[in-house]
Chain A
Amino acid sequence: MEGAIPPSFIADSIAKHASKTGIGGHNIFLGQVRTDDIEGKKVSAIEYTSNVEMALEKMHEIRESIFAKYAITCMHVHHSLGKVNAGELCLFVFTSSKHRKVAIDACTECVEKIKAELPIWGKELFEGEGYQWKVNS
């Protein structure tokens, strides 16, 4: 989605699962833009760009692989594109299952795959001026 993920969007997403009474556990990962301090320069925002077509295709593959491996009821993923300020949310991964462990493990694996495999790039914008390209650890 364009820009930061609003906390209210996450609350609404949780609320939508009230009718799915077979679910016994949800797990949510939220990525937040951190004010990194790089040689005296503070990161004020990250600007995300993507190879959108390939990212959507890859996300579909990741989704299939997670559903094939884990007995989850549902999974929702949202990643920001464009500018997200420090303190705002840039990634939302939400898995639900009958039991907690499956939901937790599926969510963790999904987040790792998103970071490693999705063609998305973060440009860390410094306060004032300047930027550097984010490197995933």
Chain B
Amino acid sequence: MTVEVQFFGQLIDKTGKSSIQIEHTASLTQLKEILFSDFPLLKGSKFIIAINNKMATEHSAIPKDAKIALMPPFSGG
């Protein structure tokens, strides 16, 4: 079972990818551990996480079919 993780803005520079599929994890903490080990440059970056288009917190559960978005500070306008 995998989940889709999307990267936006400058995070694409840090990962070299706009989206990846990774193994499903129960928590965001576990997910971040995997991401930080695969993409070390992400570690120092500021970002917020959305799960299925809803803002997530550290304790949010990750559904099996989740689409996860890592978003750096917004800079529209």
Contacts and interface: CB of A to CB of B under 8 A. Distances in A.
B9 A49 contact: yes
A7 B75 CA distance: 23
Interface string B18-57: 0000000000000000000000000000000010010000
Interface residues of A, number: 26
A104 to B, nearest CB: 18
Main secondary structure of the interface of B (DSSP, over half): loop
Contacts of B73: 135-136
Interface string B55-68: 00000000000000
A119 B75 contact: no
A121 B53 contact: no
B15 interface: no
Contacts of B69: 51, 54, 119
B8 A114 contact: no
Contacts of A116: 74
Contact of A136 (B6, B71, B75): B75
B53 A114 contact: no
Contacts of A111: 77
Interface residues of B, number: 14
A117 B75 contact: no
Q: Which of B6, B9, B53, B73: most chain A Cβ within 10 A?
A: B9
B69 to A, nearest CB: 6
Contact of B75 (A51, A57, A122): A122
A39 to B, nearest CB: 18
Given A49-B8, A121-B9, A133-B10, A79 B76 contact: yes
Interface in A43-93: 48-51, 53-54, 57, 79, 90-91
Interface of B: 6, 8-10, 50, 53, 69, 71-77
